Structure 1
Amino acid sequence: MRYLFQISLLCLLVLTAGCRSLEKALFTVPEAALNPRLPVLEVAVDAQPLHSSNGATPDDAQKLFQLELQRNLMDAKDTTTYGTVRLHITKATAKRTARGLHIVQLATLLTPAMLGIPIEYFQATAQAELQIVDVKGNVLATYKGKGASKIRVAFYHGYSQKGAPRLADIEAVRQALNEIRPQLAADAGTLREQLILVRTAGVVTISDVPGSILAAPDPAAADSTKTK
C-alpha cells in the first residue's frame, strides 16, 4: 500500500514538476525585424489542426503570431490598415517518445530522473502558410514553412509532463515562422509599396510612399557662390 502511494505521488510530480519556466518559453520570438517593415495589417489566424492536439490551443498560436508581428514584421499600430496578413496552420502532428524511459523511471521511483535523466519526450511538427493580402482582397504573396520540436520531460533542464506537449506544439509553429521570415524579408520593400499604393488608390505616387526605395532624393541646396 505504501509503495502504491509512493508511485501515485511520483506520477503527480511527473505531471506537474519541471525546472524551466513554461510561460517564458512559450511566448518568445527572436529579434529579426524586417527592413523595411510592413505597414499595419489586419491579422487572421486559422490554427484548426491544433484543436485535435492535447498540447497548444489556437489561442496560443494567435498570441505567438501577434508577438512575431509586433517584434519583427509590422509597423507600430496606427488607425489605418493596409490589408491583411493571414497565418494558416495547415498541418500539425504530435507524439510521445521514449516512453520506455517513463516505465523504468516509475519502476525505480524516479531515481534516474533525480540525476537529470529525461522521463520521456514530446515531439511535434507543424506546417504553416502565410499570406499578404491588400485591401482589395488580392493575395500579393504566399509563403510556406515547416517546423519540428522535441521537448524533454525532466526535473532538471526540462518541463513538466503537463506543459511539455503545449510547448512542443508552439515550438514547432515558431520554427515554421522562422522559416517563413527570411522569405518575407526578401520581398518586404516591394510588398510595403504595393500595400500602401493600393490603400491610397492613386492619391500618392510611388515616390511619396514612406520608406520607398524609389523615393526622389532631396533637392540639392543652392550654391551660394553663384552670382546672379
Structure 2
Amino acid sequence: MPKVPVAILGASGLVSQRMQQRLSMHPWFELVAVAGQSSGTKLSEINWHLDETRPEFIDHCDIIILDVHSKTLARELIQSGARVVFSALPSKPAEHVEMKLVDAGLHVFSNASAYRMHSDVPLVVADVNPQALRRPSSDRALHACATNCTLVPVIHPLSVLCQHHTIKKIIVRTEQALSGAGWKLLHSEEEQAKFLDQEVPGEAEKIIEEAEKILEIDSIEWDVQCKRVNEQDGHIVA
C-alpha cells in the first residue's frame, strides 16, 4: 500500500524533531515537506536537539524548509504532494497558519493548544475518544488536536471511572520535566532558575478544560497543581 505523503510544521523544536524521528521509518506515512522559521535551509542542516541520533533519513533527505509564514505555504505543501500536515508549532503561529491550510484542503493534526477548545475541532486521545474523529460527510478537510501531554495519563483512568461512578472532586498533582518547555530551557541554567519548582503557567487550566471537553462533563470540582522540576524528560502525575 502506498504511503501517505505528509508535512510537518516546525523544524527545530523538540516536538517537531520527535515527529521527524517517528515519521522517518513509519510504515504508513512518508515525510515530504517541512515548514519552519529557517526557510531555505536543508532540513539535514538544522541542529538536532534530541538525545537520540538524528535519523539516517533526515541526514540524507533533500527537504528544504519552507517558510511557515508564507502566504503561499498551502500551495507549496500541496505541490510537494503532502495531503496531511502534523503541526508542532507554538500556539500563536499555529493560530495563524493551521486554519488556512485546512481551508486549502489539507488535513491538519495539531499538537498546539490554539484550537483545542474550538467546538468544531475534535480534541482526541486515541484510546479514549476516537469517535470524535467521525464527522458527517463533508468536503472540508479535517482539523483535529492532541491534548496537553500531561492530560493523557489523567484522562485514561478518569474516562473509565466516569463511566461507572459519580465523581464529585478530582485532585491532580504533576511534576513536569524541563523538556516540556522546549530545548532552550533544557540547556539554559539561567532560564531554569526562573521556572524550577514554580507552577507551570496555564497548565492546570488546560488540564481541566480539556478533560471536560473530552468527557463532556462540567459539574466536577477540580484541584490541580502543576510544577516544573529539574528532570530532563517525562512527567509524573498523581
Scaled to the shorter chain, the TM-score interval is: under 0.3
Where is the helix percentage greater, Structure 1 or Structure 2?
1
Q: Which has the higher contact order (CA 8 A, sep 6+)?
A: 1
- TM-score, normalization by structure 2: 0.21
